[in-house]
Structure formats: C-alpha cells, structure tokens
Chain A
Amino acid sequence: MARVLLSSELQPLAGGVAELNLAAVDVRELFEQLRRHCPALAEHVQQHSALAIDGVIYQRPFAEPLAPDCEIYFIPRIAAG
C-alpha cells in the first residue's frame, strides 16, 4: 500500500484525514484511486502539485512505478528563477 501523507493545507480536500493508504502499483493507478475516493483532492493536486515518492520529487508525474509501502507527498510545483 502506498502511504499518501497530506499537508495541513490539503487535508480539508480529503475529508480532514492526514493519511491515505492506497493500493496502487504506479502513479496512474494512484490518481485513479484518488479521483474515486477524494475527487476534490485529485483535481487540486493534478493541477497544482508535484509528487515526492520516497523523497524523490517528480515535477509532473505520470506513470512512475510505486514500491510497496512507499511514502508519497504532494508539494506545490516550484517554478524557475
């Protein structure tokens, strides 16, 4: 199960929970599940967020594989300077 850990800012979009455990083998499946269970969160993060999988940041994730028990955070996309 992928552990999705939500910041205080994102928790209201997921019904107030701080953590979601989702059975997903890749990012595509992760987003499918998010769209099913937390559509508001899914819409927000797909528009605005990068993804950190076990600390490695994916600016625009698509179908990256997810290891069992991986840790996932959504973080704001960082622009360039």
Chain B
Amino acid sequence: MSEQSTPKTYRSIGTSPVRPDGIDKVTGRANYGADRHLPGMLHGKTLRSPHAHARIRSIDVSEAEKLPGVMAVVTGADFPHLQSAMEEAGESQIDVWDLARNVMARDKVLYHGHAVAAVAATSDAIAEAALAKIRVDYEVLTPVMDIEAAMADNAPLLHEEMRTQGLPAAADRASNVATVIKLARGDLAAGFAAADVVIEREFSTPTVHQGYIEPHAVVADCRENGQATLWCCTQGPFVVRTLTSKVLNWDVSRIKVIPSEIGGGFGAKTTVYQEPVAIMLSLKSGRPVKMVMNREEVFRATGPTSASRIRIKLGANRAGKIMAAEAELKYEAGAFKGSPVMPGCMCVFVSYEMQSFSITGYDVVVNKPKVAAYRAPGAPMAAFAMESMIDEMAHKLAIDPIQFRLDNAVREGSQAVYGPKFPAIGFEACLKQAESHPHYRAPLGANQGRGVAAGFWFNVGMQSSATVNVQEDGSAIVITASPDIGGSRASMALMASEELGIPYERINALVGDTETAGYCDVTGGSRTTFATGMAVIQASKDVIRQMRERAAKVWNVEIDQVSWVDGAAVPAAEVAAEKDLKPLSFAELARNAAHTGGPIAGRASLMAQGAGAGFGVHLCDVEVDPETGKVDIIRYTVIQDAGKAIHPAYVEGQLQGGAVQGIGWALNEEYVYNAQGVMENPAFLDYRMPVALDLPMIDAVIVEVPNPSHPYGVRGVGETPIVPPLGAVANAVHDATQVRFCHLPLNPPRVLAGLQAAGA
C-alpha cells in the first residue's frame, strides 16, 4: 500500500500492470544463459584448485590434449601478462592484474576452486575426462581462512608484494591488509565523557552468497576476422565487454555481448569469470564454446560477500541523545583486495546524528573466493552491529526503540557521517510509519519477541541510454541495455507511456546488446529505474518534440504553437480557431510519419546525477523454541521510502526479496570451511536459504518522499531492504530470550548454546 502520495497525479506510473516478460518466464520459454546453442558448439569445463593456498610449480596439459574430442586446452600461460593497474571498468575501478588472476590462476592458487585450466571438447563427458588428465604440481601453503589469521603477526601472505594502503606512512613490509580507512569528526573523548551510558560490543557475520537461482553461463563464438560474440547472463553487457577486453588486452570493439534473461544476480553478475576463458577456448579451437557452472562451482568460485568482524562503542546521555560512537570494521575481501569495507564505514553510523565519531576500516585478503557485490555491499553487516547497539542502548535508557531512533535520526539538513548534508530523505517518515503500524503494537505470545532495525543505502545514478522507436501502428519500442532483473521492462514501459500519453500495452520494452543499444552501466546499485528510466523519459520527450514538429508542419504553424496533451499534438487556441485545426493523436502522427519527414525515433544518453538516498525500517516478530534454539519468523513488515513507486507491486517485491535474503543471512546462511580451507556445504541442501515455507507473508509499506533530482521523484529501492533484517531479527531474538546475540547466523545450535550459557 502507498502511505503518502506525491502531489502530482499520473496516468501510468504508480499502476502495477502485468510484466511483459512474465508469461515467457513462467512457461519456460524465456532464454537464459545456458539455453543458447550454436552449430558445432563445444563444451567448456574448468579445472579448479583442490587447495585453498598453493604455489603452482607446473601444469602439464599434454595428455589432455591427446584425448580424442578435445579441441582446446588453456591455462594462465595463454592469457596476456598484465601489469597491476587500476582501470575504469564500467561503474568502478578494478585492478586488472587481480581480475585476470581471478579468472585464471598463474603462479599461485588463492582459494579452493580457483580456476587453473580449462578444456573445450565435443561433449561434457570428454571435457570432464580431459580435466582429469591435466597434471598440476602444487606446493601446498598454509591457508589463511579468517580475519584474525590474516592479520596475525607472521601470517602467511597471499600476495608477497602487497603493502597496506591508507597508513600515515608508507608500509615497509607486505601484509594481508590491503587498505586501512579512517573517518572521524569531533572530539571523541569529550563525547564519551559527556555520555551517561557507554556500551561496547563485538559482532561477526559469516561469508554468505547471493544465492541466485541461475548459475553463470556463457557461449563464446570467435570468428576469423578476430571478432568475438558472447551470449551470457549478466547484470551489464557493457561491463562484461569492458572487463573481458581488459583480461584479454583487446579493444572493446572486438567483443559483442548479448545478454540473456537473467535468473538473479543481486550484484554478483557485475563481473566476469568464464567469459574471457570461453573466448580463449573458442579462439584456440575455432568453434563456439559454451561454459556453464554447476551449483558447486558457483559457491566455490564466484564472489560471495565478506565475512566481517565489527566492534562498536556507543555513548548516549540520559535524555536519549547519542554523544559519541566509535567503530572498527574488518571485512574479508577474499583472495584479492577490494572488500566493501568503505561503504560499510560510510554506513555504520549513517542513520543517526553524530557530532563525535571515529571509524576505522580494514580490507583484508584471505584464502576464499574474491568477494563480489551483494545488495548494498558492506552495509548489512555494519547495520547489524549498529542496530543491535541502538536497541541495547534504548533498553538501557528505558526509551522505546523507535522513539530513540527518532530522537537521533538524520533528517533533511543533517550532516551524514561521510560528509555532505542530506537533501530531502524519508527516514523520519519511515520511523513514524513503523511507530503507527498495527504490527508494532500487536500482542506477542510466549517465547516471542519483536525487533526493530533501520537501514540505509546511497543508491547511484551513472550512465544510461535509451531509444524510443515509433511504429506506424501507433505503438512504440523502447530499447535499453539494462538487463531486466526486477521488472525494469515494465517500469521503462510505464515511464514511456506516461510521457508519450499512450497505453502501457502499446509499448514494447526490449533489452539490447552492446552493438544495438546505447551504453548503459550495470543493472545494479538500485540505479535502473532511476537512471535508465531518466534516459527513457528524455528519449520519450525527444519523440514528443519530433511529433510536435510534424504537427506544426502539417498545420503550417510554428512548433511553439503546438503543445503535447494526453498523447496528442494540440494546436494553440488562436491557430486552432483560425485554421479549424483538430488535435493529431500519437497514432495519427505515427501512421503518417512517412509522409511528414520519415521515421520518428527518440534517443537519450546521460550521466544520471542526484540519486536519492534510501532509508527503510523493518519490524520483525520471532518465536524461539527454548528446547531446540530454532527461530521462526512469525510476522515481518518492511517500510521503505521509494521516492515515487513507478510500479508499486514490483517495489513491494524488491522490499520483500531483500528482506528474505537478509533473514537468511541472519538465521542460517554461512560458508562452512574445514581446516584445509575447503567449503563443506557448497549446495542448497546444506547452504540453507529461506524458502517460501519458512516465512510468513512479508508486509511491504511504501513511503513516498520524492527525490528532488528525478522528474517523478524516484529513488532506488533494490538494495536498502537487505540492510535492516540482520539487526531486526537479532533484536527480536533478544526481545524473546533476553540474550544478546552478536554473531551470525542465529541457527539452532548457536541460539541454544546462547540460551544455555545465559541460563535461560
């Protein structure tokens, strides 16, 4: 339901029509990454490291190459030698040395499952047999499997040349700490001295995976002219093109990327794994090559998100004002530098007014897969720690947890911990919605408890393009290169419909490739409805301008005597009366385009600026079984500021989906490693994600505080909803048990042990 409305009324946006791709997806007709087949296509398979940390002494592929049906074998030696360099890669910078070595190991393997070699053969079975014939001589090294081990004195080093960045003076020796971050403001000692209550706790969260349904899949086809075409499931065809070209040291113009439908990504499909390998195998064999990961490979060899250790010290006065806060965040990056600890540092205190604070972050490499983005990267762990502290402080001060948050909440004009003052934001509105929601006052039963937690994400804009082609039957085609993960075809069509004034059903929204659509950054960062939508709005306005021009020509008047009203060109009153002119509809102008100057197509490309920050508040009720420690979610409500919901049902879906992923993170999910650094639960049977039967219906409340930088007020909505659940669940478990749990997941053994330790 929508609790507030923007003053403007709309015809199309704010409605929830059926998604155009829905029937194909539920009937199995939609083509995903693994569905592509080409004549003569080979099957590619990857040999992966059996060790978490080892030096490669040699690789012998000769026996594999002799196997009948094997058409190509590649190792790291087949790829160009690249120097360490930070390169622009679509939406962020990436070290191409790291990327290339993550795609295919060279001198060292840095996690169990690291790619070592790959084979293309005429069948899956032959490719598997060939992998077994590749001989790799390893010098096995001690794996470094967690933050403490990685930061210990004399810890084994993953990268002998890596020096810690961000220290006051240049580091004089190698370390597993890639970067140290410091953010601070005010007089911390004076702030804590002025506090009446000071609490300090340490928290930890495990390595978790995004858990998308569709494994990574790619088909590569290299031609004699040196051009390569990739079909793959990705959140951004242009970023695949960029990153693949970096790894191969090719010009981007040699690679065309055609995105398939995508069965989930959540940030993790914004990088490359198999794509450069498939091209190299295709190049060597002269035939198309398909590579499809199985679930085990997805867990072992693609980027999960960081495990973390966070310490927070929080001080407040008896009146309920936060006086000072200190945080230390240590995030695992996996095998190569680049954890999301920076956004973690920026988010840990972001929801609250802070005069005095100090935040220190550590980016730490360990022998696990290199982390990849996951919804609001870095923020959920930070919010788990801080929202647990806020809950505890409110209880110590005997203040209602929502009131305590309201007393300290950032508002328009508040200075964020990362610097600037907030423009219009909806945090206070979300808290008030939570406070007045029937859920918050509903009675609880025995062994039940209620938790509250807040969350924030920046949201981003970045680059997008859109084309709107008018067809002679009065319909329009919208083309962008933003893959549709969360219903963006529908939201693009709704915005075009709103601007053009024609029905939603008359618009066909398509996802193009890197050669037929203009540049778009990834579908991620909660940017697509905001930024690509802005491009669609501008391209639609371009169509309207051309249609007004055509009408002006037909009527032999000036264009400024023609306006666009409800899907039609309308002459100004004086010329309409003088010449007896009637409005010309979109359909009439489209039908006659060939006679008035030719086809009509609108286009826009932009760098979208001013993405509006997203805030949310979650209410969670749990029931804890005191005999087993099992936690059941019995009621859950998500309240979030969407700015303006273009397609409210899909916004609700985003809020519900983010909450479910966060609940899984809180209750069950974790990578379980043995002493050798081998993940022991690389399948959904043992890596326990919530399914529909585990959860109640999640109520979603959309708050609309418009983003002033968007024509309709849109804010991104996809990431914020995964931020609060970890804290909301933990606070609810505390309410039910009076035991404060600081380490996730809250699975039955941990909860039972906590209850027994507390004598509960």
- A residues engaging B (CB < 8 A)? 5, 7-9, 12, 47-48, 52, 54-62, 64, 71, 73-81
Asked if B281 lies at the interface with its beta carbon under 8 angstroms from chain A, I say no
Q: Are B610 and A73 in contact (CB under 8 A)?
A: no
C-beta contact mask, B489-510 vs A, less than 8 Å → 1, else 0? Answer: 0000000000000000000000
Could you list 5 examples of A-B contacts with CB < 8 Å? Answer: A57-B610, A73-B420, A78-B343, A78-B525, A79-B460
Which segment of B143-151, B178-186, B253-261, B446-454 sits at the interface? B178-186
**Distance (Å) between the CB of A50 and the closest chain B CB?**
9
Q: Are B420 and A60 in contact (CB under 8 A)?
A: no
A8, B357: Cα distance in complex, Å: 11
Which of B184, B267, B418, B421 makes the CB contact (< 8 A) with A80? B267
Q: A8-B183, A8-B184, A59-B462 are in contact. Are A81 and B376 (CB under 8 A)?
A: yes
The chain A residue with its CB closest to the CB of B609 is A58
* B166 contact set on A, CB distance < 8 A: 9
Q: A55-B422, A71-B421, A78-B343 are in contact. Are A9 and B183 (CB under 8 A)?
A: yes
A18, B212: Cα distance in complex, Å: 44
**Distance (Å) between the CB of B642 and the closest chain A CB?**
17
* A12 contact set on B, CB distance < 8 A: 168
A45, B496: Cα distance in complex, Å: 36
Which of B342, B423, B719 makes the CB contact (< 8 A) with A56? B423
**Distance (Å) between the CB of B236 and the closest chain A CB?**
9
Which of A55, A61, A77 makes the CB contact (< 8 A) with B421? A55
* B266 contact set on A, CB distance < 8 A: 81
Q: Are B419 and A73 in contact (CB under 8 A)?
A: yes
* B522 contact set on A, CB distance < 8 A: 80
Which segment of B85-93, B244-252, B390-398 sits at the interface? B85-93
Q: Are A5 and B419 in contact (CB under 8 A)?
A: yes
Which of A48, A55, A74, A79 makes the CB contact (< 8 A) with B91? A79
Q: Are A76 and B525 in contact (CB under 8 A)?
A: no
Within 8 A of A (CB), among B288-346: 340, 342-343, 346
Q: Are A80 and B521 in contact (CB under 8 A)?
A: yes
Asked if B618 lies at the interface with its beta carbon under 8 angstroms from chain A, I say no
Asked if B611 lies at the interface with its beta carbon under 8 angstroms from chain A, I say yes
Q: Are A76 and B342 in contact (CB under 8 A)?
A: yes
Which of A71, A73, A80 makes the CB contact (< 8 A) with B373? A80
Q: Are B611 and A57 in contact (CB under 8 A)?
A: yes
A77, B422: Cα distance in complex, Å: 17
Asked if B374 lies at the interface with its beta carbon under 8 angstroms from chain A, I say yes
Asked if B527 lies at the interface with its beta carbon under 8 angstroms from chain A, I say yes
Q: Are B92 and A77 in contact (CB under 8 A)?
A: yes
Q: A59-B460, A76-B346, A79-B525 are in contact. Are A47 and B420 (CB under 8 A)?
A: no
Within 8 A of A (CB), among B78-135: 86, 91-93
Q: Are A8 and B422 in contact (CB under 8 A)?
A: no
Within 8 A of A (CB), among B388-427: 418-423
* A52 contact set on B, CB distance < 8 A: 419-420
Q: Are A75 and B377 in contact (CB under 8 A)?
A: no
Q: Are A56 and B373 in contact (CB under 8 A)?
A: no
Q: Are A71 and B420 in contact (CB under 8 A)?
A: yes
* A57 contact set on B, CB distance < 8 A: 420, 458, 461, 609-611
The chain A residue with its CB closest to the CB of B462 is A59
Asked if B270 lies at the interface with its beta carbon under 8 angstroms from chain A, I say yes
* B373 contact set on A, CB distance < 8 A: 79-81
A9, B545: Cα distance in complex, Å: 48
A52, B343: Cα distance in complex, Å: 16
Q: A58-B609, A59-B607 are in contact. Are A75 and B460 (CB under 8 A)?
A: no
* B270 contact set on A, CB distance < 8 A: 80
Q: Are A80 and B91 in contact (CB under 8 A)?
A: yes
A6, B267: Cα distance in complex, Å: 30
Asked if B541 lies at the interface with its beta carbon under 8 angstroms from chain A, I say no
Asked if B375 lies at the interface with its beta carbon under 8 angstroms from chain A, I say yes
Q: Are B419 and A81 in contact (CB under 8 A)?
A: no
A77, B418: Cα distance in complex, Å: 11
The chain B residue with its CB closest to the CB of A18 is B185
Q: Are A55 and B460 in contact (CB under 8 A)?
A: no
Asked if B285 lies at the interface with its beta carbon under 8 angstroms from chain A, I say no
* B719 contact set on A, CB distance < 8 A: 81
* A58 contact set on B, CB distance < 8 A: 609-610
**Distance (Å) between the CB of B601 and the closest chain A CB?**
27
**Distance (Å) between the CB of B643 and the closest chain A CB?**
14
**Distance (Å) between the CB of B279 and the closest chain A CB?**
24
A52, B462: Cα distance in complex, Å: 14
Q: Are A81 and B267 in contact (CB under 8 A)?
A: yes
Asked if B524 lies at the interface with its beta carbon under 8 angstroms from chain A, I say yes
A5, B610: Cα distance in complex, Å: 19
* A48 contact set on B, CB distance < 8 A: 93
* B420 contact set on A, CB distance < 8 A: 52, 54-55, 57, 71, 73, 75
A79, B607: Cα distance in complex, Å: 15
The chain B residue with its CB closest to the CB of A56 is B610
A54, B424: Cα distance in complex, Å: 12
